Amino acid sequence: MQTAGIIIEYNPMHDGHLYLLEQVRAQLGADTAFVGVMSGNFVQRGDFALLRKHARARAAVESGVDLVLELPLPWAVSSAERFARGGVEILAATGVVMHLAFGSECGDAAALERLAAALHHAAFPALLRQELERGDSFAAARQRALAQLVSPEDAALVSDPNNILGVEYCKALAERASAIRPLTVRRAGTPYHGTDLVGAQPSATLLRTLLRSGERDRALALMPPAVRRIYGEEEAAGRAPVFRENAERAMLARLRSMTEADFTRLDEGREGLWDEGGGGLSRRLYEASRSACSIEALLNAAKTRRYAHTRLSRMVLWAYLGLEPAAFPERVPYLRVLAAGGRGRELLGRMRKCASLPVLTKPADVRKLSPAAKALFRQEVRATDLYALAYPDLSAAAGGAEWREGPAILP
């Protein structure tokens, strides 16, 4: 049996995600097992997940993933580079994963590996700095810098979001000299950020847009059966859908209580961005927080051509959650199980013998671990309590949920 790792958000899971599982099984064998590393209650672009992590993990296992592990908060809400490193570190630490499977716009693993090698080229940092001095965004500067090291066709691939993540996955694997091999499947259907249905496969962005605009029935009709059912259960319990706007007052209260120095600590250049100095971005956020009456208005007031909306969103989220990038841990300290099916339990049995990190199957297990592991789990507890403030029904938002809920163990 082959075992493939996938690094996922499933926000929410849709038919395109099922397509990836099907295509990987077509290449590796019908009995391929999947280990998913999934972001928790907050996602990489600096937003609240539509459904809480335990519900998303259960839907994933009911839809074909065998084991779901959590990508801890400091990696889940960071740059594509750090997001990928955290996911790869966890997959490697399991000791059971042979392949890293992911969707991409190009479907060409060799091209993505060439780009990953170019990012490690000795000349790349100077080329990137030179391009950033023009004042463009990091993404545009990186593409121009890469075009000086690879073909224009390869460099153009980093304009697409899933290609970018694919490059970072390949780069993270190369940095670890990992035996895990990348395997990519060309995306089909609606583009990643698309809000119009293309073919039979919606994007997660489209599903969230439909739910936000009140087209609930249309959104549910486009979800896989298990996701549709679990969404309905969470909705009935007052825990879905979760949107950032639901917690907007709490977020603005936190931001308005911060000093300019507090904002500066959020802008530590930990995302691989060249820091122009002067605290320009942190000052823009500080000033915008004093006048903006919504988070979206704050982001629009603070944005520039240089800084992507997602980076600003992450900084605002870090502020709300009380995170400081400079204090982020360097290494993942544990493997936390969110959900497992029958084959997932078999994989857990193997992991207990060969994993290079401790495996947490219940929250109380963390009390036996290192101070760093305990500190990270406390961070997760706090973040989940703040996430719950965005539930549609506040009576469902009691604190301490991280200590009460263990993994979903399914047949």
Average pLDDT over residues 326-350: 96
Could you give phi then psi for residue 349, rounded to 5 degrees? Answer: -60, -40
Integer Cα distance of 292 and 284 in angstroms: 12
Q: Could you tell me if 326 and 316 are in contact, meaning their C-beta atoms sit under 8 angstroms apart?
A: no
Mean residue pLDDT of the chain comes to: 93
Average pLDDT over residues 383-392: 99
Q: Is the pLDDT of residue 275 over 70?
A: no
pLDDT tens digit sequence for 219-248: 999 999 999 999 999 999 999 999 999 999
Radius of gyration of the chain, Cα coordinates, nearest whole angstrom:
20
Place of tokens 């060409």: 108
pLDDT tens digit sequence for 36-88: 999 999 999 999 999 999 999 999 999 999 999 999 999 999 999 999 999 99
The burial class, CB within 10 Å (0-12 / 13-18 / 19+), for 272 is: middle
Q: What are the tokens at 373?
A: 């592991």
CA dihedral angle for residue 169, residue 175, residue 181, residue 184, rounded to 10 degrees: 20
Integer Cα distance of 235 and 242 in angstroms: 9
Is the Cα dihedral 44, 50, 54, 58 positive or negative?
negative
- The pLDDT, as a whole number, for residue 253 is 98
Whole-model pTM: value is: 0.94
Least confident of 14-18, 72-76, 176-180, 264-268: 264-268
Average pLDDT over residues 362-374: 94
Q: Could you tell me if 358 and 18 are in contact, meaning their C-beta atoms sit under 8 angstroms apart?
A: no
Q: Could you tell me if 91 and 7 are in contact, meaning their C-beta atoms sit under 8 angstroms apart?
A: yes
Integer Cα distance of 233 and 227 in angstroms: 10
Q: Is the pLDDT of residue 193 over 80?
A: no
Integer Cα distance of 13 and 399 in angstroms: 26
The answer for 189, left when phi > 0, alpha when psi is -120 to 50, beta otherwise, is left
- The pLDDT, as a whole number, for residue 197 is 65
Q: Indicate the CATH number for domain 3-105+160-242.
A: 3.40.50.620
* Residue ranges of domains in the chain: 3-105+160-242, 245-327
